[in-house]
Amino acid sequence: MDREDILARSRKENKERDLFEKEVLRESSKAGAVASVLLAFVLLTIRVILGCGIDYGLWAVCMATLAATFTVKARRLHRRHEMLIAAGYTILTLAMTAAYLSQIIASATRS
């Protein structure tokens, strides 16, 4: 088996994506998730400092990002620790979403 055959098989197994490209995509996705959570946290902090109250919608987005990240890790790595963290973030996502919906429904009924 020559070098070209090995490369052709590798490309076929990796669906025409090389391993470097896969790693770059993985790192960029991780960086995007971290940037999103950090920005949401900064916006939440500014909102609380200015006395505008808590925006449960932004908290729900932060928690959903973390829940998705840990759910994928738990499924791939089969670690109990990752599963517990994923479950915790999922519960927090649901709680923040419920609080957000309650907040906007209460706001809508006052108007």
Give yes or no for residue 1 having a pLDDT over 70: no
Write down the pLDDT at residue 91. 97
Give yes or no for residue 40 having a pLDDT over 90: no
Task: Please tell me the distance from the alpha carbon of residue 65 to that of residue 33, in angstroms, as a whole number.
Answer: 7
Q: Which amino acid is at 111?
A: S
Task: Please tell me the distance from the alpha carbon of residue 61 to that of residue 57, in angstroms, as a whole number.
Answer: 6
Model pTM?
Answer: 0.69
Half-sphere exposure in the Cβ direction for 80 (13 Å, CA) = 0
Name the most confidently modeled range: 22-36, 55-69, 87-101.
87-101
Please tell me the total number of residues recorded for the chain in this structure.
Answer: 111
